[in-house]
Amino acid sequence: MNVAQEFEPLYHAARRLDLRGDTGEAALVTITRTQGSTFRRAGASMLVHRDGRLVCELSGGCPQRDIVLRAQHAMETGEPVVVAYGRDSNYDVMIETGCGGELEVLIEPWRHPDDVQFLDAIESLRTQRVPGVMASLFAVAGRALAPRPYRLIRGNDSLWTNIGDPSLRMQVLAGMASQSPSSSSAMATHVAHEGHRYDALLESLHPPHALVIIGDGIGADMLAALSLQLGWDTTLVSTSEPDKQTPAGARHVVALPHSLTSTVAFDHQTSAVVMTHRLERDLAYATSLMATPVRYIGVIGSRQRAGQIRAIFPEDDRLHVPAGLDIGSETPQEIALAIAAEILALRNGRLGGPLAHSQSPIHP
């Protein structure tokens, strides 16, 4: 669940389940450990419905078919299970898919409303745009905890848990304080308590990335459509009410440069792109954005315009003008792709060059 843009479809699918306790309606599959080259990292989750429908597929390259079959079996028995894929077990599946690495998954069938309560706690943090950390104690001595994992979710000023033992709860909190995962990862760990050694997964929780697009042309619409496909919160800003329909799922607000920051909320998980095609107006909006905590401020325009804009803001490295990666973009759709790719590369600490020329891990 450490991929923020994947949470929303999974959460909505979970809320539509009819959990009455008699049968397993779905099962949550979470990668708990990886080693070597795998298609997804620890923390990635997939929801498997009883009829085989999938939400947030892990990857066709992972042993997904075998995982789905095991998830459907877990729904029948009602028993969670930990399954390892590697040299010591299920190695034939890994050879068949060509992953080259090893991984472990937790499969937890959902039968009762209590099984999905932790999702509401995550959604509450997302709605408030507050980061957090989730600890999941899922196994002891290699056997999955039943009927569900122990979880503890901590935000800045909030705490949710289904751990009833106060001493175990304090032990988990102490572990979270001393070994919280980095901002973009999950980490496998252990919690020792009263003679038991729990397998645990620590995950960073982040609000969804937000993109504010200032402009009212086709380029703004194309960027908004792509932003929505990426699962980003998307806001379109213009100087007047639009004479066309806003892309479904995007918010539209009317705000002049001087009222921008009082009309739209900006935080560290927000990027902004200015594309009004008017130099003075672009400069006015960029000036307002400089007073916000956004990490990326993109402005489209020619090389000449870019030089004029950079001369006014020479010290701020958040400014990207012309916005976008150099991929030879020509059409509004291609320009939107170049801008979105630059934002994604910046958020993941990448340069945006060819993977074939990079020695860094493919997954951040």
β-partners of residue 192 are: 197
pLDDT of residue 284: 95
Radius of gyration of the chain (CA): 23
pLDDT of residue 302: 85
pLDDT of residue 183: 60
- For range 248-275, the mean pLDDT: 94
Question: Which tens digit of pLDDT belongs to each residue from 205-231?
Answer: 988 999 999 998 899 999 999 999 998
| Spatial separation of the C-alpha atoms in residues 40 and 63, rounded to whole Å | 11
More confident residue, 283 or 363: 283
Whether residue 308 is predicted with pLDDT greater than 80 in this model: the reply is yes
DSSP SS3 for 87: coil
Residue 71, CB-side half-sphere exposure with 13 Å CA sphere: 27
Question: Which tens digit of pLDDT belongs to each residue from 135-174?
Answer: 999 999 889 999 999 999 999 889 999 999 999 999 999 9
Q: Give the chain's mean pLDDT.
A: 89
Query: In which band, very low, low, confident or very high, does the pLDDT at 35 lie, cut at 50, 70 and 90?
Result: confident
Residue 165, CB-side half-sphere exposure with 13 Å CA sphere: 9
Could you give the C-alpha distances from 238 to 257, 276, 298, in angstroms and in order? 10, 8, 16
Between vectors from CA 334 to CA 332 and to CA 336, what angle results, nearest 5°? Answer: 70
More confident residue, 97 or 76: 76
Quick one: which of 99, 173, 102 has its CA closest to 132?
173
Q: What is the CATH number of domain 210-347?
A: 3.40.50.720
Q: Which residues, including other chains, have CB under 8 Å from residue 40's CB and lie 6 or more apart?
A: 31, 34, 58, 59, 62, 363
Query: In which band, very low, low, confident or very high, does the pLDDT at 364 lie, cut at 50, 70 and 90?
Result: low
Q: Where in the chain is the domain with CATH 3.40.50.720?
A: 210-347
| Spatial separation of the C-alpha atoms in residues 104 and 31, rounded to whole Å | 6
